[in-house]
Structure 1
Amino acid sequence: MTPGFTGADLANLLNEAAILAARNKKVAIGRQELDEASLRVMAGPEKRSRMITPEEKSIIAYHEVGHALVMKSIAKSDPVHKVSVISRGQALGITIQLPLKDRYLTSKSELMARMAAAMGGRAAEEIIFGDVTTGAKQDIEQATSIARQMVCEFGMSERLGLVTLHRRGEGDSLFFSELTAADVDGEVKALTDAAYRQAYDICQARRTTLVRIAEHLQVVETIDGDELDRLLLDEAVPVAVMLPRVEESAVAGRIAAAEAHDWEDTSVGSAGDGEPEPPIAAS
């Protein structure tokens, strides 16, 4: 629940959990209080007083499930902890990922997965509604920031190579040419475009699942990681089609037997003197 938390974050989490336990008249902090406290530390308190129209709630639900669906579809992505359409802080909805353990190194594929996950909400909006909203503002900022770090700091651009291209200090100017700056912008755009295409392809290929989970989310408002896994398992279950059982009438049986008997009488070299074989029904 708390990978990546600093000491101050853990202190805030326990303080929030203690306050919630006291409000609920409990003598000890429980799992429910810890879960809510961790969400408060990461995303802020719930804002149920914020009036959201049904149309906006639908857009938010598809947006957040778009994030979650892309996250669950990429192997290098961190597990999804919670998806919610309840407003917290400045966010109208949240999709939270939590790594299984603390990490100090991040691979290029993991960074690409984070960018694609950030673009999942915008892709879902475009696929379902044929239009986009301002809700993806922070997602685009996050993806752009990751892409620029990959190009300018991590040497993960095949075009620019293993170079560092960033400001030395807050007041320093760029120490590379305008031509190189244009190349940087082009590489950043190429990375974000690739992330969006990947997110769009995933949401389009799993559109039925996207719709089913988003409609469910509008009803329950919050889905945890385990419930999301169960909903995704339903996607892989094949639908059993029950065919009606065809019962042969007695008249049809006598006609078939008579035809078989006539065929045996007129056939040359027939060796069967027992009961006639039933006719083979074409399927």
Structure 2
Amino acid sequence: GKEEKHRVAYHESGHTLVAEIVPTGEPVHKVSIIPRGMGALGYTLQLPVHEKFLSTKNELNDQLAILLGGRVAEELIFGDISSGASNDLERASDIARSMVCQLGMSEKLGPLTYGKKEQSLYLGVEYGQEKNYSEETAKIIDDEVRKLIETNHTRAREILKKNRKTLDVLAALLEKKEVISGEEVKKIVDDTSVYFLSDGK
């Protein structure tokens, strides 16, 4: 319905705007809110990430902020979130968990891998994986994952709050046209003088 379309437009614009602003975000190619078949959400976000292996910590952090951008936009505009945001959170949690367990990117735990390598896609104990670490370590892992999510949620929020005008313009155009190109996104971002976070993040 009309209300859902309005929400989806903001959700996708949130991802898009964060992707345009974080330093390692690749340019957005296309954004669409056209429902696709009987999919759970019925729309796709064509984000710039071409399933490449994301290497640096900065890239992965930016990726988390981008993934959380849709959720943050919903929180800012509607004061709550839809089920559409839970898939993003799941993907963000997977990345954060890889950063902590597989890639040694946690200051607390350092460069050790936790859990078996071949399980790297699904790192949770819920997948019946053999644990080679203690409950205490499991708790630290969860805390570190949560910290990564919270930090990047805050970054996405800062970006969208400071660029609220751009977010509104993007969402309005997307709602009207249903599909917008990367060029159109770039034009809006350039025209509405986007505020970049001062620490270069």
Instruction: Report the TM-score when normalising by structure 2.
Output: 0.85
Alignment equivalent of 2:99, drawn from 150, 174, 184: 150
Listed as ranges, the gaps of 5+ residues in structure 1 are 1-52, 238-283
Q: Confirm or deny that 1:179 pairs with 2:136.
A: yes
* Mapping 1:66-85, distance limit 5 Å: 66-85=14-33
How far, CA to CA, are the matches of 1:69 and 1:128 in structure 2? Answer: 15
The match for 1:98 is 48
Deviation per residue, 1:130-168 (Å, 9 max, x gap): 121111111001100000000000000000011010136
The match for 1:199 is 156
How far, CA to CA, are the matches of 1:120 and 1:164 in structure 2? Answer: 29
Cα 1:168/1:81, change in 2 over 3 Å: closer
- Work out which of the two has the higher radius of gyration on C-alpha atoms and give 1 or 2: 1
How far, CA to CA, are the matches of 1:104 and 1:141 in structure 2? Answer: 18
How far, CA to CA, are the matches of 1:139 and 1:148 in structure 2? Answer: 14
Shift of 1:114: 0.6
How far, CA to CA, are the matches of 2:165 and 2:118 in structure 1? Answer: 49
Cα 1:168/1:208, change in 2 over 3 Å: closer
* 3-state SS of paired residue (2:29): strand
The match for 2:3 is 55
Shift of 1:172: 4.6
CA contact (8 A) 1:123 1:199 kept: yes
Cα 1:215/1:196, change in 2 over 3 Å: same
Shift of 1:78: 1.7
How far, CA to CA, are the matches of 2:70 and 2:54 in structure 1? Answer: 26
Asked which structure has the greater RCO (Cα within 8 Å, sep 6+), the reply is 2
For these two proteins, the number of residue pairs brought into alignment is: 184
How far, CA to CA, are the matches of 1:68 and 1:140 in structure 2? Answer: 16
Cα 1:55/1:108, change in 2 over 3 Å: same
Instruction: Report the TM-score when normalising by structure 1.
Output: 0.61
* Mapping 1:1-283, distance limit 5 Å: 53-88=1-36, 90=39, 91-98=41-48, 106-167=55-116, 172-236=129-193
How far, CA to CA, are the matches of 1:236 and 1:191 in structure 2? Answer: 29
Listed as ranges, the gaps of 5+ residues in structure 2 are 120-127, 195-201
* 3-state SS of paired residue (1:83): strand
CA contact (8 A) 1:64 1:85 kept: yes
* Paired residue type of 2:63: R
The match for 1:243 is none
How far, CA to CA, are the matches of 1:223 and 1:85 in structure 2? Answer: 9
Shift of 1:103: 5.4
* Paired residue type of 1:97: L
CA contact (8 A) 2:25 2:48 kept: no
How far, CA to CA, are the matches of 1:174 and 1:138 in structure 2? Answer: 26
Cα 1:70/1:104, change in 2 over 3 Å: closer
State the percentage of identical aligned residues.
Answer: 41
* Paired residue type of 2:135: E
Cα 1:198/1:229, change in 2 over 3 Å: same
* Paired residue type of 2:57: K
